[in-house]
Structure 1
Amino acid sequence: MPMDLSVAEKLLLLCQSPDKNGLSVPGFHLPYGIIASLMTDLAYSGHISEKERKVVIVNKNPDKASVLSDITETIRESQKRRSMKSWVQRLAMSSGRFRRAIQDELERKGLLRIERKKFLGIISYRKTWLRGHKTQKSLVNTLAGAVRHPDLALPPSDLRLLGIVLVCQLHETLGLDSAKDQESLDSATYRILSEDSTMRSLAQIINETDMATGQIPSTVNQAAFYQLNSSS
């Protein structure tokens, strides 16, 4: 990858429409994906870890001005130790401000153009446009290739990103079709869920949310869970 990007930045770059304002996919599950990607960035940079299935802060502070610092402070100030699943669910309710902070960073890196506006001069909103077309295309090719060619090795951070994309049903960002690529999607999701407890927690959140809101749970997640349960 030509530019050093966090998992959260890559996720939002993937989800940005290549030629229109805003996202290229429905964002129903994106809040959970955003938080999972930020928690991944914190874990991979050594700021948090898991102990006895609970998230704990490691004595290494992120940049005080960063979105990661906001999350570590929230975890640090909590009177209760929580699991990764619990933190993803709780923080997803504030995902809008985290998404804006990530978009701001993408703008600083020249990958996004943001138009900041006000409705009736009072209510702030923004429009986002892709600038980093080559970077987005490279990401798409890398992750889609890993789905279609299982022997293709990915760095741990990109493997986690792929897991978030698949579990949150954002595979259309990779040009993958649920019908034509179903077998490859099921296989890739199963491999990731069988090896990554954080992705299993995220898949549980997505399926529980779908059921609670009357939506049909992801067929990709269902197939992967069925395979996991059958093999255990």
Structure 2
Amino acid sequence: MELSLSEKLLLLAIHPQNGKFISPDLHLNYSLTGAILLELSIKEHLKLVDGNVYLNDIDKIDSPVLLGVINLIQESKKPRTLKYWVQKLGRKSGKFRWSILKDMESKRVVRTHEKAFLGIIPYKRVFVLDKQLRNELHISLKEFIRSPDSQNTEQVALLGLIDASQMHKLLTSDSQNKRAIKKRIQEIVRENPIKDTVELAIKEIQAAILTIIAISAATSASAR
């Protein structure tokens, strides 16, 4: 089954047993935003010119999520930087996440289960139905790290997003090896053919996450 870049990221982010996400919400939200923008870039619907984002050949897009992002970009009164779109779309990524998961549910890849904490506060769990698909994706990433193909831009982008979403535990459970994996991923991202877009997107995702964490910490400290 063919999955989009954002679908692959979410499938890997779901814990195979408990239905929770293995990446912190903040990291996953911005990484998902990056996945959507990178998907548009890989398919050549989005390009960077002098640091600004421009759309290209968007008539054939049929994904509701991609169309939603394109509409937001089109509504902007002037060209905006990738940093601007990562930050703006990151604030809406919770909506994107559940829209993508709904499509994945219709494909019988996942199942969403709604629960309520103490019978009052609603929350959701997402369970993997197609475990073979997830395992194959997981194995292919490990193999790609060992023997990367710089022409496989989607795999390169997915590795970069795993780095940004702090999901290194997918690739190793050893803390020492995590540093080596992280370094290797960053090398692969730098060496890929569209490294300017991929590497910049990953940097902007990480910068947005760090900014929000810093603001949250400052707000929390001032409230004491």
TM-score normalized by the length of structure 1: 0.79
Name 2:5's counterpart in structure 1. 7
Name 2:197's counterpart in structure 1. 198
Name 1:161's counterpart in structure 2. 158
**Is residue 2:20 matched to residue 1:19?**
no
Distance 1:27 1:135 in 2: 23
Question: Which residue type is aligned with residue 196 of structure 2?
Answer: S
Query: Over residues 125-184 of structure 1, what are the superposed CA-to-partner deviations in whole Å (9 max), with x where a residue is unaligned?
Result: 43211112111111111112222x1x3326211111111111332211233544224224
TM-score normalized by the length of structure 2: 0.82
**Is residue 2:180 matched to residue 1:183?**
yes
Structure 2: state its 5+ residue gaps: 216-224
Please tell me the root mean square deviation across aligned C-alpha atoms, in Å.
2.6
Alignment: residue pair count: 210
Distance 2:58 2:16 in 1: 36
Query: Residues 103-142 of structure 1 correspond to what in structure 2 (within 5 A)?
Result: 103-116=101-114, 125-142=123-140
Name 1:93's counterpart in structure 2. 91
Q: Percent identity among equivalent residues?
A: 27
8 Å CA contact retained: 1:7, 1:157 = yes
8 Å CA contact retained: 1:25, 1:173 = no
8 Å CA contact retained: 1:8, 1:38 = yes
Question: Which residue type is aligned with residue 7 of structure 2?
Answer: E
Name 1:210's counterpart in structure 2. 210
Q: Alpha carbons of 1:119 and 1:187: their partners in 2 closer, same or farther (altered >3 Å)?
A: closer
Question: Which residue type is aligned with residue 145 of structure 1?
Answer: E
List structure 1 runs of 4+ shifted beyond 3 angstroms.
Answer: 116-125, 175-178
8 Å CA contact retained: 1:18, 1:24 = no
Q: Alpha carbons of 1:45 and 1:191: their partners in 2 closer, same or farther (altered >3 Å)?
A: closer
Distance 2:212 2:121 in 1: 31
Question: Which residue type is aligned with residue 25 of structure 2?
Answer: G
Distance 2:38 2:132 in 1: 24
